[in-house]
Structure 1
Amino acid sequence: MAALALASCLLAMLCGFLILFRSKRKKEEIKGASGKHATGINGTTNGSLPEEGPKGEKVTVLYCTQTGTAERFARVLVSEMGARYQGNFHTNMVDIEDYEYKDKLLHEKMLIVITSTYGDGEPTDSATALHEWLKERSAEANGTEAEQLHYAVFGLGNRTYEHFCASGKFIDRALNALGGKRIGLRGEGDDDKDIEGDYDDWRDQLWPALETEATFLGLVSPKKQNGGIDLMNHFSAYNVEFQANFVCQEHPLYEGKPNKAGTFDANHPFLAQIHTCLELHTTQSERSCIHVELDIDGQGIQYETGDHVGIYPQNGEDIIERTAACLGLFLDQIVILKKPEIEADLHDVPSRPLSVRTLLAGYTDLLSSPSRAALLALASCAANPDEAERLRLLGDNHNRQEFQHWVLEKQRSLLEVLETFKSARPSLGLFLGSIAPRLQPRFYSISSSHTVSPGRIHVTCAVVKDLTPGGRVHQGVCSTWLQKSGASSSKLPIAAPIFTRHSSFKPPRDPMVPLVMIGPGTGIAPFRGFLQYREYLADSGVKLGPAYLFFGCRDRCKDFIYEKELRAWEASQIVLTSLHVAFSREGKKKDYVQHHLTSQGKELWPFLQSGYTYVCGDAKKMAKDVHAALVEIAKDHGGFAHTEAEEFWSDLHKSGRYLRDVW
């Protein structure tokens, strides 16, 4: 009896401690969400407007995003506009996927479009239909369809690619052709440099441009509002309710359920078991490249040859342990996140109980460089005055050189910043709301054909491990997670949240059409799928046209991936007519795929004219060098001048016969 009484007493004490702990932390989180860290945003809505919304003119902020960056800028803009023009109008922030553009776009008065360009000048998946509709409407336009429309555009892209910010440029041209009047300059953000600085420049010129149109919009100048709002202290935060672990059971971050239409997408990923993970490099290689197979058999998720797969990765255990230590959190603590009603610019979050471990592992991007806004949010909670001042200096829009040097050039991660400024200990709500961006999916070209492997998606993945300029060993989040998951000794199957994405990078519909494939390194991935598809057709008795493959690696003894398969396909002389392999590190002189292209130019020229040409792999150098080689072939064997040769390949690109899947 005495033992029972003692046990009861201990249990009561434990419950009391947990209730006190939960109450204290909950108060701290609510203060972080509605106190000094978060100023309420007046007049903002998210998605469709209610029947009786806020008073004032409406400004629609439309975003088209592929990896979340355009959405992040849209949320920041909505937050800043709400604080700057309190109560004078309301913003309707909406994802293009949820926007009824055919019914609404031409009737908008003020529209701000923030749009990303994906790959080689393509719109995001969600914006493809909008592009097609605008293309049709603008081609038939007489310039009066949207006379009342005032609009602004900020395009996101990467100058590495030939068609930089193509989506933003196209939408600008189309709206102008329909009679819309652009307010301010078109913004262009370069992800290869300081895209946040590019956004700041565009936004800073947008304010006076908007205020010039104030009589039309019914706005007032922020100068008439008691000096305006201090945007430096405006940080959004979630409300966080800490739960008693023995009462509340944890749920997974992704549930693996389809959307209302019964399909899987980026917001409703499928949980695919990692069935196979094989090393493709030999033991002599100092690098790693893995072949991964994801099981989708009979689960309602499908793909086609040439498609992409998006994979939501997880941060490593050491990364989340270090982050939790910086935040003063227990990894196994269960929490429920709630978005305050006044914080329309925040992401919707799962309302089910999640552990801190789950949130830090799969929800937060901890290894990318933090934004300036994130540094300002950290400064707001730094106990050490010197650290707070240093963070404010780094986050100051007028001190970009220091941010560029200390953060971007050194490639410092958010975790490194947290460990450097130890007194900056934000609440979990503030950390998730204003500091750590959401961990985005990684996209891979599928390296199998649906005709041969309908129940498994194959992925060819280079395992990233680099030394940053700041001296940190950077390991790729997704590639490292896949590699460790495949090598796990756990008896429980490891599931990867995935979804497929349609691609225009497809084999020719007519199997007799010649194709030339150029893909060094992991750029071979889609072509392995192409060749599996051709083998399937050949086995089915279908006649095939010629196929050339130009592949490149460093050393045949180290990283000649899929060599046996490629040699077998070449030996057939049906699936693959000719295989050319460049080994860049074997001889004294560097040998690359473009050198093999030019040496085979005479033989290739008839097929380049009549067939399809595909390039897959690195965009910064390889794709440019390959394009230059193709131009030279057109000059040498087609008799073109340089300008004519460029036009030849431009025309092939427009007709869908010169395709590039580059990154």
Structure 2
Amino acid sequence: MRYALLGAGNTQWVATYQAFPKRIEEGLLAAGATPVVERGIADAAGDFDGMATRWMNNLWATLAEEYAADTSQASGPRYQVQLLTESDVRPAIVSEQAYPLTVVTNEELVADATGLWDFQIEPPRPSAKSITVELPDGVTYDTGNHLAVFAKNELALVERALRRLGVEYDQVLRLDQPAGGRTHLPVGTPVTALILLTEFLELQDVATRSQIQTLAEHTECPWTRPQLQAYTAETEEAEERYQKEILGKRISVLGLLERFPAVELPLAVFLEMTGPIRPRFYSISSAPSANPRHVRLTVGLLEGPALSGDGQYRGTCSAYIAGLEPGDVVYGYVRVPSPTFAPPADPATPLILIGPGTGIAPLRGFLEERATQHANGTQVGASQVFVGCRHPEHDYFYKQEMQDWEKSGIAQVHTAFSAVTGHPARFVQNAIANAADTVWQAIEDGAYIYVCGDGRRMAPAVREALAAIHRQKTGSNDEAAQQWLAQLEADERYQQDVFA
């Protein structure tokens, strides 16, 4: 048997990057299989499209050479656009995986920071929402699960795209796909241009090199074409330029269309080159023991100056969630995270919960479950909770609940305030170091450690703080401390739900 294997992954998930493709290849090789080409690697945090395209081109070339295969493809757009009248519109397309979720509440978690501290130390944080949705009958979830949410693009972004494409927002379209095949678009269903771009297309994805090449092919301008081809040529210089100016600045196809007005891109081609709206996965902040059909999410608005330098950037899904009101219906589904991120089966097991900012999301669910068990007379282990924010009067999420759970005896809360001068801990890793004796005793008593939040800076700093406690308490070196942490992970006593 022969095989070809392309491993997709994301280097932001360091612990599991390419682990599964490697396991598959080891099994194939052990069974006597031989590769057609070397195993490929595609990194979603880098030039994913370029890496995958180069591997695929090599595969097709190898197959063509070995089997005299015809690898040519029909040219031209996959989609044809037909203009219809408003009376033909019957838009009713939703994802097959998703089901309707009804918004119950949507509450702001961030208070005005005016006068609380000098903003030169650190600026206030953007909005964050605590949103509760109701699941349909027959659907439930487990503590620690994720909720996938299908967002919609903001109106201002859609209007930008339609204006650049020269299409009216109320223009009715029906897409046909003569060649057939799978698609994320509502083929055969009349929709307005506004609905099409709002609900079906990712308008803020970074432009890939193949997409930029398509743009270059749709301009006759002698200045514009070389400008675009400078990102797509098969040279080191072009790849570095793409990495720095497009990938590094998160510039989308729409952004390039606005920068290069001489590109004349037909709507059908734009639809073909633009990916589908992807679900965003949020850690559930509640426990089914409190209400099996109500799911709470804790969502921070991703907002700030665009890396491209073109105005403000707002995250597609966080902005969508921020604007939802009670009674609104959204689409999504419950998902079990992988790797596992769930509380131990025995409620008497002590916990160490570390979640600054929106990292508190799943940990609030853990605490709500323990609080419900405690209220029902079950003996629960103590939870050492490490939370962090800028200022307790600005963005201390679920502050009253934390205080109530501390008073009931199920939790001891350790705080870190990054904008409060003189507070004992600025970051959660400082708070962990300050509570070294308590943390060590909890681990000796069998505590499970859960870390949620920023995987770029916070999670490594927390890991180092725990390693430092091990070195301090045992007199060991760093190698022994890292082995100790690795064993905790292997025993599922150290779990992370982190993001970059």
TM over 0.5: yes
- The structural deviation recorded for 1:157 is 1.7
Selected match of 1:565 from 396, 401, 413: 401
Cα deviation per residue 1:229-284 (whole Å; 9 max; x = unaligned)?
5x8x95642123322212x1331332xxxxxxxxxxx6331121222111101111
| Contact 1:326/1:425 (8 A) holds in 2 | no
Equivalent-residue separation in structure 1 for 2:98 and 2:13 (angstroms): 30
* Residue 594 (structure 1) aligned with residue 435 (structure 2): no
Aligned residues: 482
Equivalent-residue separation in structure 2 for 1:251 and 1:596 (angstroms): 53
Segment of structure 1 superposing worse, 178-187 or 524-533: 178-187
- The structural deviation recorded for 1:310 is 0.7
Q: Structure 1 residues 475 and 347 mapped into 2: Cα distance closer, same or farther (>3 Å)?
A: closer
Q: Structure 1 residues 660 and 350 mapped into 2: Cα distance closer, same or farther (>3 Å)?
A: farther
Identity of aligned residues (%): 27
* Residue 371 (structure 1) aligned with residue 211 (structure 2): no
Q: Which amino acid letter does the alignment assign opposite residue 198 of structure 1?
A: M
Equivalent-residue separation in structure 2 for 1:502 and 1:368 (angstroms): 26
Equivalent-residue separation in structure 2 for 1:612 and 1:364 (angstroms): 41
* Residue 237 (structure 1) aligned with residue 78 (structure 2): yes
Q: Which amino acid letter does the alignment assign opposite residue 312 of structure 1?
A: F
Task: Name the residue aligned to 2:226.
Answer: 389
Q: Structure 1 residues 441 and 662 mapped into 2: Cα distance closer, same or farther (>3 Å)?
A: same
Selected match of 2:11 from 151, 158, 171: 158
**What is the aligned-residue RMSD (CA, Å)?**
2.4
Q: Structure 1 residues 327 and 348 mapped into 2: Cα distance closer, same or farther (>3 Å)?
A: closer
* Residue 449 (structure 1) aligned with residue 287 (structure 2): yes
Task: Name the residue aligned to 1:187.
Answer: 40
Task: Name the residue aligned to 1:605.
Answer: 440
Q: Structure 1 residues 608 and 175 mapped into 2: Cα distance closer, same or farther (>3 Å)?
A: farther
Cα deviation per residue 1:371-398 (whole Å; 9 max; x = unaligned)?
1111122222224343233223333343
* Residue 651 (structure 1) aligned with residue 487 (structure 2): yes
* Residue 267 (structure 1) aligned with residue 96 (structure 2): yes
Please give the secondary structure, in 1, of the residue aligned with 2:16: coil
Please give the secondary structure, in 2, of the residue aligned with 1:523: helix
Q: Structure 1 residues 157 and 168 mapped into 2: Cα distance closer, same or farther (>3 Å)?
A: farther
- The structural deviation recorded for 1:184 is 3.0
Selected match of 2:108 from 249, 256, 279: 279
| Contact 2:50/2:208 (8 A) holds in 1 | no
Task: Name the residue aligned to 2:117.
Answer: none
- The structural deviation recorded for 1:632 is 1.8
Please give the secondary structure, in 1, of the residue aligned with 2:495: strand
| Contact 2:50/2:209 (8 A) holds in 1 | no
- The structural deviation recorded for 1:344 is 4.3
Using CA pairs under 8 Å that are at least 6 residues apart, name the structure with larger relative contact order, 1 or 2. Answer: 2
Segment of structure 1 superposing worse, 381-390 or 593-602: 381-390
Selected match of 1:426 from 244, 254, 265: 265
Please give the secondary structure, in 1, of the residue aligned with 2:141: coil
Map 1:309-348 to 2 at 5 A: 309-341=147-179, 344=181, 347=184
Equivalent-residue separation in structure 1 for 2:96 and 2:390 (angstroms): 39
| Contact 1:200/1:397 (8 A) holds in 2 | no
- The structural deviation recorded for 1:350 is 4.7
Equivalent-residue separation in structure 2 for 1:579 and 1:350 (angstroms): 53
Q: Which amino acid letter does the alignment assign opposite residue 252 of structure 1?
A: A
Task: Name the residue aligned to 2:90.
Answer: 250
| Contact 2:184/2:276 (8 A) holds in 1 | no
TM-score, normalization by structure 2: 0.89
Q: Which amino acid letter does the alignment assign opposite residue 419 of structure 2?
A: R
Q: Which amino acid letter does the alignment assign opposite residue 476 of structure 1?
A: G
Q: Structure 1 residues 235 and 541 mapped into 2: Cα distance closer, same or farther (>3 Å)?
A: farther
Segment of structure 1 superposing worse, 544-553 or 604-613: 604-613
Equivalent-residue separation in structure 2 for 1:422 and 1:652 (angstroms): 56
Q: Structure 1 residues 236 and 614 mapped into 2: Cα distance closer, same or farther (>3 Å)?
A: farther
- The structural deviation recorded for 1:201 is 4.5
Q: Which amino acid letter does the alignment assign opposite residue 362 of structure 2?
A: P
Q: Which amino acid letter does the alignment assign opposite residue 500 of structure 1?
A: V
Map 1:483-494 to 2 at 5 A: 483-486=322-325, 493-494=327-328
Cα deviation per residue 1:308-350 (whole Å; 9 max; x = unaligned)?
0011111111111111111111212222223332x64755745
| Contact 1:605/1:638 (8 A) holds in 2 | no
Q: Structure 1 residues 186 and 636 mapped into 2: Cα distance closer, same or farther (>3 Å)?
A: farther
Cα deviation per residue 1:504-559 (whole Å; 9 max; x = unaligned)?
21111001111111111100011111111111101111011121111111111211
Q: Which has the larger radius of gyration?
A: 1
Segment of structure 1 superposing worse, 612-621 or 597-606: 597-606
| Contact 1:293/1:456 (8 A) holds in 2 | yes
| Contact 1:272/1:295 (8 A) holds in 2 | yes
* Residue 528 (structure 1) aligned with residue 364 (structure 2): yes
Selected match of 1:630 from 466, 469, 482: 466
| Contact 2:2/2:36 (8 A) holds in 1 | no
Task: Name the residue aligned to 1:585.
Answer: 419
Equivalent-residue separation in structure 2 for 1:165 and 1:395 (angstroms): 26
- The structural deviation recorded for 1:407 is 1.2
Equivalent-residue separation in structure 2 for 1:637 and 1:496 (angstroms): 50
| Contact 1:253/1:362 (8 A) holds in 2 | no
Task: Name the residue aligned to 2:342.
Answer: 506
| Contact 2:387/2:428 (8 A) holds in 1 | yes
Task: Name the residue aligned to 2:319.
Answer: 480
Equivalent-residue separation in structure 2 for 1:347 and 1:618 (angstroms): 31
Map 1:79-94 to 2 at 5 A: none
| Contact 1:253/1:359 (8 A) holds in 2 | no
Q: Structure 1 residues 363 and 406 mapped into 2: Cα distance closer, same or farther (>3 Å)?
A: same
Task: Name the residue aligned to 2:68.
Answer: 220
Equivalent-residue separation in structure 2 for 1:201 and 1:651 (angstroms): 38
Please give the secondary structure, in 1, of the residue aligned with 2:452: strand
Task: Name the residue aligned to 2:21.
Answer: 168
Segment of structure 1 superposing worse, 174-183 or 513-522: 174-183
Q: Which amino acid letter does the alignment assign opposite residue 497 of structure 1?
A: Y
Map 1:23-62 to 2 at 5 A: none
Task: Name the residue aligned to 2:331.
Answer: 497
* Residue 437 (structure 1) aligned with residue 278 (structure 2): no
- The structural deviation recorded for 1:644 is 2.3
Equivalent-residue separation in structure 2 for 1:404 and 1:543 (angstroms): 54
Selected match of 2:246 from 386, 407, 427: 407
Gaps of 5+ in 1: 1-147, 255-265, 488-492
Equivalent-residue separation in structure 2 for 1:518 and 1:371 (angstroms): 37
Cα deviation per residue 1:591-618 (whole Å; 9 max; x = unaligned)?
2111221222222223224121111011
| Contact 1:442/1:478 (8 A) holds in 2 | yes
Q: Which amino acid letter does the alignment assign opposite residue 93 of structure 2?
A: L
Please give the secondary structure, in 1, of the residue aligned with 2:441: helix
Task: Name the residue aligned to 1:299.
Answer: 137
Gaps of 5+ in 2: 114-123
| Contact 2:6/2:42 (8 A) holds in 1 | no
Q: Which amino acid letter does the alignment assign opposite residue 292 of structure 2?
A: P
- The structural deviation recorded for 1:155 is 2.9
| Contact 2:4/2:38 (8 A) holds in 1 | no
Equivalent-residue separation in structure 1 for 2:76 and 2:475 (angstroms): 61
